[in-house]
Amino acid sequence: MSPDDKVTPLRPKRPCPECGKPSAREHYPFCSARCKDIDLNRWLKGAYVIPGRDDEDEEDDGSKQGPSPKDEP
């Protein structure tokens, strides 16, 4: 293979999601260990939350309740 042959990168180059600098291979998709740690800290603190649907909460409440004491003989 000659040096003139183009090599396709394994991953597309993207900006760091924290600061916007070009990402580094060893910290992908981040540019540095610092930005990687900032993101990890946000996950651990619970800053990233996927909201649930309200109708799921209502269905779960009804299914968790057992028979009422009035129904027992």
Q: Give the per-residue pLDDT at 70.
A: 61
29-67 pLDDT per residue, tens? 999 999 999 999 999 999 988 888 877 555 555 555 555
Q: Give the pLDDT band (50/70/90) at residue 69.
A: low
pLDDT for 59 equals: 58
Known binder of ligand: residue 62? no
Ramachandran category for residue 20: left, alpha or beta (phi over 0 → left; psi -120 to 50 → alpha): left
The predicted pLDDT at position 72 comes to: 56
- What is the reported pLDDT for 37? 97
Does 35 carry a binding-site annotation? yes
Greater model confidence, 40 or 13: 40
Q: Which long-range contacts (CB under 8 A, 24 or more apart) does 31-36 make?
A: none
Cα–Cα distance, 47 to 42 (Å, whole number): 5
Q: Which among 2, 1, 35, 34 is positioned nearest to 16, based on CA atoms? A: 35
